[in-house]
Homo-oligomer: A and B are copies of this chain.
């Protein structure tokens, strides 16, 4: 099992002819991801890494079945790219692009509510089911197949944590970077619901940070309904209030959005919080 992604998932790349799009197409393909096609308006009939390029998803779908799309389109065109994937009813959409206006994400997010579409990102590293497939920009070599699910608002911090996990012998079922923007397609809770039903996942790692209330919402959910051990880490204990820390969503706008408040709420609900990212495997060993 795993969630959302495996080696049979048929993936397309929107923005495949761009610098990032073509580079990561190569990386994903060599990792084993089943990339069936790419989309760049006006570049239909070209190929990238041997993969056929189409002008629109609608054209592409005449030749290929599609399960997921990963979007590398620059900010200016990314909004239409997301809408295209949504309107073409692609069930899993991963938006790597940083710089999508919040306004547009708000519309898209409200539109897909209640629809059978999982949107990941924007401004995220993507997701990976180790030794099966990866969709996004994560460095494949640090991941290992196993039974720990990971959800993270960060990129490199995820790698740091996964690296520790792998070194400590904890492989991963699926690792999802949900992105650092204020409005994201899937929040912790949305993916926890999927991991809950995944037989392969025995424990969870959540990597949160300052800003927003997603960690608090997840805490409530874990307390009430999530029946697997969870370890968390919250970045930004030393972040000053009111300053954006890199990620558009990493900004403390109220007391409850600080790392301290989130950590307290987690601990009050008996969810362990690692002091350092590297402590996570140690805690896992104790609670599994």
Q: List chain A positions with a Cβ less than 8 A from chain B.
A: 113-115
A115 vs B115: C-alpha distance in the bound complex, in angstroms?
9
Residues of B contacting A115 in the complex (Cβ-Cβ under 8 angstroms): 113-114
A269 vs B115: C-alpha distance in the bound complex, in angstroms?
32
Q: A110 — nearest CB in chain B belongs to which residue? A: B111
CB distance from A128 to the nearest CB of B (A): 29
Nearest 4 pairs between A and B by C-beta?
A114-B114, A114-B115, A113-B114, A113-B115
Specify how many copies of this chain sit in the oligomer.
2
Residues of B contacting A114 in the complex (Cβ-Cβ under 8 angstroms): 113-115
CB distance from A161 to the nearest CB of B (A): 35
Q: A117 — nearest CB in chain B belongs to which residue? A: B114
A16 vs B115: C-alpha distance in the bound complex, in angstroms?
34
Q: A116 — nearest CB in chain B belongs to which residue? A: B114
Residues of B contacting A113 in the complex (Cβ-Cβ under 8 angstroms): 114-115
A215 vs B114: C-alpha distance in the bound complex, in angstroms?
27
A114 vs B113: C-alpha distance in the bound complex, in angstroms?
8
4 contacts between A and B (CB under 8 A): A113-B114, A113-B115, A114-B114, A114-B115
CB distance from A133 to the nearest CB of B (A): 28
Q: A114 — nearest CB in chain B belongs to which residue? A: B114
CB distance from A212 to the nearest CB of B (A): 24
A113 vs B114: C-alpha distance in the bound complex, in angstroms?
8
A114 vs B114: C-alpha distance in the bound complex, in angstroms?
5
A113 vs B117: C-alpha distance in the bound complex, in angstroms?
14
Q: A112 — nearest CB in chain B belongs to which residue? A: B114
A19 vs B114: C-alpha distance in the bound complex, in angstroms?
38
A114 vs B115: C-alpha distance in the bound complex, in angstroms?
6
CB distance from A181 to the nearest CB of B (A): 24
A114 vs B86: C-alpha distance in the bound complex, in angstroms?
14
CB distance from A90 to the nearest CB of B (A): 16
CB distance from A114 to the nearest CB of B (A): 3
A33 vs B278: C-alpha distance in the bound complex, in angstroms?
64
A14 vs B114: C-alpha distance in the bound complex, in angstroms?
26
CB distance from A108 to the nearest CB of B (A): 14
CB distance from A252 to the nearest CB of B (A): 31
CB distance from A81 to the nearest CB of B (A): 21
